């Protein structure tokens, strides 16, 4: 019994071996969801200050109206986005996949930025270690991979 509990605890602490989805999978998903993602950018662009949105809750509280929160929450659910944010620089982040555990938490999703961002790699597949990496998809859209160890 003790061995089973120790094994279960180790799996939880190490993220149960989940690996991030491939660039190809995210690119395919992006192409399918692009109209919805662009509708989210358009709706969120009306807001002038940074905010986050997770599970229908805006952060900081009151950062956006209840009506805007509801509108964005519906669109984010349609796109399968778990966490969304408007950043200080006016860019938008869309967390689509994550493995948040005590050790080696990673997040992968999309960024939309009207500012040219520096692409840090041609492939996010196999990139590991702490930090954030970007790969351009098209236009103002990027795939990001972020890991906190």
pTM for the full predicted model: 0.83
Residues 110-137 have a mean pLDDT of: 89
10 phi and psi, to 5 degrees? Answer: -65, -40
Q: Which two tokens stand for residue 59?
A: 């952060």
Strands 105-112, 92-99: pairing kind: antiparallel
Asked if pLDDT for residue 102 goes beyond 90, the answer is no
Asked if pLDDT for residue 90 goes beyond 70, the answer is yes
Alpha-carbon distances, residue 107 vs 21, 55, 83, 124, 128 (angstroms): 10, 16, 10, 12, 11
Identify the three-state secondary structure at position 84. strand
């Amino acid at each position: 019994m003790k061995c089973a509990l120790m094994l279960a605890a180790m799996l939880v602490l190490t993220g149960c071996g989940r690996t991030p989805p491939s660039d190809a999978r995210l690119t395919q998903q992006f192409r399918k969801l692009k109209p919805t993602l662009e509708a989210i950018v358009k709706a969120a662009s009306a807001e002038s200050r940074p905010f986050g949105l997770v599970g229908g809750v805006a952060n900081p509280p009151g950062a956006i109206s209840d009506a805007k929160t509801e509108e964005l929450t519906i669109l984010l659910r349609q796109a399968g986005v778990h966490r969304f944010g408007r950043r200080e620089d006016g860019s938008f982040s869309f967390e689509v996949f994550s493995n948040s555990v005590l050790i080696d938490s990673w997040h992968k999703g999309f960024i939309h930025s009207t500012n040219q961002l520096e692409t840090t790699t041609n492939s996010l597949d196999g990139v590991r270690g702490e930090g954030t990496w970007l790969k351009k998809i098209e236009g103002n859209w990027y795939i990001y991979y972020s890991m906190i160890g």
